[in-house]
Amino acid sequence: MPATTEPAVGPPGRTVLDARDIARALTRISHEILERNKGHEGLVLLGVPTRGVGLAQRIAARIAETEGVTIPVGALDITLYRDDLRRHPARAPQPTAIPAGGIDQKTVVLVDDVLYSGRTVRAALDALADIGRPAVVRLAVLVDRGHRELPIRADHVGKNLPSARSERVMVRLEETDGLDVVRIADSPDAARPTEEVAR
């Protein structure tokens, strides 16, 4: 079956990344992280729930294949640090899981699926500050769709995806959704232009 064939199950819209594209993007991000860090020493990957956690685990697996080492992976929930809780109902907080070695004086790579306004990343930085003091914090995202509202830029990007605010970017991953695909579609609700509101 050709790689461009639409998946039988999944969100509506136009496919911009299929499973092979996602795999290649994560492999490239993994190599970039190692190159930027000059190796694996001191690396910690923290995924932002929900899909950022699965992406962080995949990146760690690729680094293990390349370097033969296990990179600490954790989860950093930012629900209670968001600045839009009054406007949008909060989801139930997800577990924050910091690796046993902590994050102090480590190179922490925050991993998320979509970078949009930058507000999720700001919240993640606030949450991180309450946990410890990393030496460096970097950001890896599968998709950067633009429309930043804060001066935040990703260090590692799987795909830059120019989009209109009236469009939705939908990421689905095998771990949480049963398939790997990124799609973009017109939003049925202009007030909620993306599934990842204010990310």
The CATH topology of domain 18-83+90-165 is Rossmann fold (3.40.50)
Q: pLDDT value at position 198? A: 46
- Report the alpha-carbon distance of residue 98 to residue 153 in Å, rounded: 24
Per-residue pLDDT, 88: 62
Angle (deg, nearest 10), helices 51-67 and 19-37: 60
Measured CA to CA, the distance from residue 50 to residue 96 in angstroms comes to: 11
Fill in the DSSP letter of residue 7: P
Domain boundaries, the chain: 18-83+90-165
- Torsion angle in degrees (nearest 10) through CA of 183, 89, 123, 12: 0
pLDDT at 44 (0 to 100) = 98
Residue 89: per-residue pLDDT: 60
pLDDT digit string (tens) for the chain, length 199 residues: 343 444 445 678 899 999 999 999 999 999 999 999 999 999 999 999 999 999 999 999 999 999 999 999 999 999 989 876 666 666 677 889 999 999 999 999 999 999 999 999 999 999 999 999 999 999 999 999 999 999 999 999 999 999 999 999 999 999 999 999 999 999 765 333 334 444 6
CA distance 66 to 41: 14
User: Which strands, in side-by-side order, build the sheet including 181-186?
Assistant: 14-17, 181-186, 167-172
